[in-house]
Amino acid sequence: MKKRCLSIICTCLLATIGFSQNIGINNDASTPHNSAMLDVKSTSKGILIPRMTGAQRTAIAGPATGLQVYQTDAPAGIYYYNGSSWVQLGATANANPEGWSTTGNAGTNPASNFIGTTDNTALNFRTNNQTRFILNEAGKIGVGTTTPQSLFEVYGTDPSTANAPFRVLTAGNNNRAADFINLSATTVQPAISAYVMGNNHAGIFYQANNSSDKAALSAFTTGTGGAGYFSSTGPNTILTAEYTGPLVSQSSTAIQGIANLKTGVGRGGYFAGGYEGIFAKGQRAAKFEGKGEGIVIDLETTNGGNYQYGIDCNVTNTANINVIGISSYVQGNAGANLVGVYSEPQGGGTGAVVYAFYGLGHAGITGSYLTVSDAKLKRNIRSMPGMMDKIMQLKPSTYEYRTDEFKMNLPGGKQFGLLAQELQAVFPELVTEQIKPVNKNEKANKASSELKYLGVNYQGLIPILINGIQELKKENEGLNKELIAIKTKIGL
C-alpha cells in the first residue's frame, strides 16, 4: 500500500515539474508567485530543513554553495555553505561572523573585521535618533558637532558640570587625569586648545582629594613657545588651579610653568586678565625664575575702583615670626649698577599727587639718602635772598600724634617739628597736600579710606637754614669789625 502511495506522489510531482515552471504548496489553492520556484504559504506551519550534528554536517561530501542545515549539537543553529566553508547565521562565536551582535562578538580578525564604511561616507552614532558622535570621512571625530575641524573636537552649549564640553575625572594619588602631548617640536600648534565663545571659563582643570604633589594641570615644553598659554576676552577666570595638599617639597605647586630648561627662552606661563592675572595662595605662593625680567606687570585703566595695583601684597602674621612684605636681593659683578627696587610713576595732572614710594611707618636705610641736585638738571638758578626774618617766624613745637584715631603707623611719644599750617604761612613752597592711598585688605574683605593731609618738606628747610647761618655770620663779622674800631678809637 505504501509503495503504491509513494508511486502516485512521484508521478504527480513529475507531472508538475514537466508542465509547470514553479511549485506552490498551500491550503487555499492559490497560484505560486511567478518569481519563486517554490512558494510555500501557511499561517500555522513552517519549513523544516534537514537536522544533523556538527560531525554529520562536515561529513557532507561536496556541499553546494547555499546548502543549509540545522545543527542540533553545540553550537546549535542554522548553517549555510558559502562555497568554501560552513557559516552559522547570526553567529557570535565563529571565525567569520557576517554581522556584529549586540551581545558581543568573539573570534574576530582585526585585519578584516571592522565597524565602519568602505566608501567616502561619515559614520554616525545616535541615541534617541539624535546624532551624538560622528566620525567623518576625513577621519575627524566630533562630539556634539557634525562638522569637526580638528582630529578630536568636543562642543557644548551649557557650561554646567552636567553638560560640560569636556570633563576628566580620576581617583588615586598616582594617576593622571589626562596627558596632552604635541610631538611636533617645530610647530606652534597646541597639544590642547579650549575655546569658549561665551563669558564663562575657557578651561577648568580641577584636582581634589589629593595628598601628594600631583598637578591638576601640568604643561611642559622644550620649544621656544610658552609652556601654557591661556587667554580669554570674557570677565571670568582664564585658568584656575588649586593645590590643597601639604608642602611636601618645593614642587608642590598649584601652577608650575617651566620654559626651556637649557636656554631659558620662551614663557613659563603667560596670564592676561581683566582683574587678576595670577592669583596664588600658599607658603610659597609663586616663584619666578628667568633671564632679564622676573615679573613684568602691565596694567590698563579699568572702569571701576579708585586705584590699580601693580603689586598688592597682604601678609598676615599668625605666628610669632618676622614678616617682610616685599624683599629684594640683587647681586651683580664688579662695576655693575644695582637697583633693589625701582619705581617710576608717570603722568598725573595739575594738583595730582605722584609718589614713587609711599609707606606708613618708619623708613630705615644703611646707605646714604640722596636727592637729585645736579646743576645740569636745573634752570632759573638764583641766589637766595635773606631768610633770617622768615626763619624767625617759624615756631618749632613739641607734640604727639593721634595714633588712636588715625591708623597710619604714626610714631608714638614726644615729637619735635613744625606744624604744616604754620610753615605754610611762611614758606608755602615747603608744604604740599598729601593723599594716603586706598589700601585693599583681602583678608578682611575691605579697603581703607583715602585720607588727605598736609606734608612738610623738611629737607627743603636745609638750604634756608644754611642761608640764615651765613646771613647771621656776616652780621656777626660786621659787628666784630665795628667793635674792633670802637676799641681802637678809645685805646683799648
pLDDT digits (tens, 9 = 90+) for 274-317: 556 666 666 666 777 767 777 777 777 666 666 777 777 777 77
Task: Measure CA 157 to chain center.
Answer: 20
pTM above 0.75, yes or no: no
* Mean pLDDT of the 394-419 span: 93
Which are the contacts of 190, defined by CB distance < 8 A and separation ≥ 6? Answer: 182, 229
- Tell me if 26 sits within 8 A of 42, measured CB to CB: yes
Mean pLDDT of the chain: 77
> What pLDDT does 363 receive?
86
Distance between CA atoms of residues 418 and 402, nearest Å? 16
> What pLDDT does 381 receive?
92
Q: Cα angle vertex 178, ends 175, 180, to 5°?
A: 135
Distance between CA atoms of residues 262 and 367, nearest Å? 38
> What pLDDT does 153 receive?
86
Residue 227, classified by CB atoms within 10 Å of its CB into exposed (0-12), middle (13-18) or buried (19+), is buried
Largest distance between two CA atoms of the chain: 193
Which of 64-73, 367-376, 436-445 is predicted least confidently? 436-445
**DSSP tag of 92:** S
Upper half-sphere CA count for residue 293 (Cβ side, 13 Å): 7
Model confidence pLDDT, tens digit, residues 311-354? 777 777 777 888 888 888 888 888 888 888 888 888 777 778 88
Select from 431, 429, 425, 434 the least CA-distant residue to 406: 434
* Mean pLDDT of the 42-48 span: 92
* Cell numbers standing for residue 45: 506551519
* E strand segments, 366-430: 397-399, 415-417
Model confidence pLDDT, tens digit, residues 233-255? 555 555 555 555 554 444 445 55
* Mean pLDDT of the 391-412 span: 92
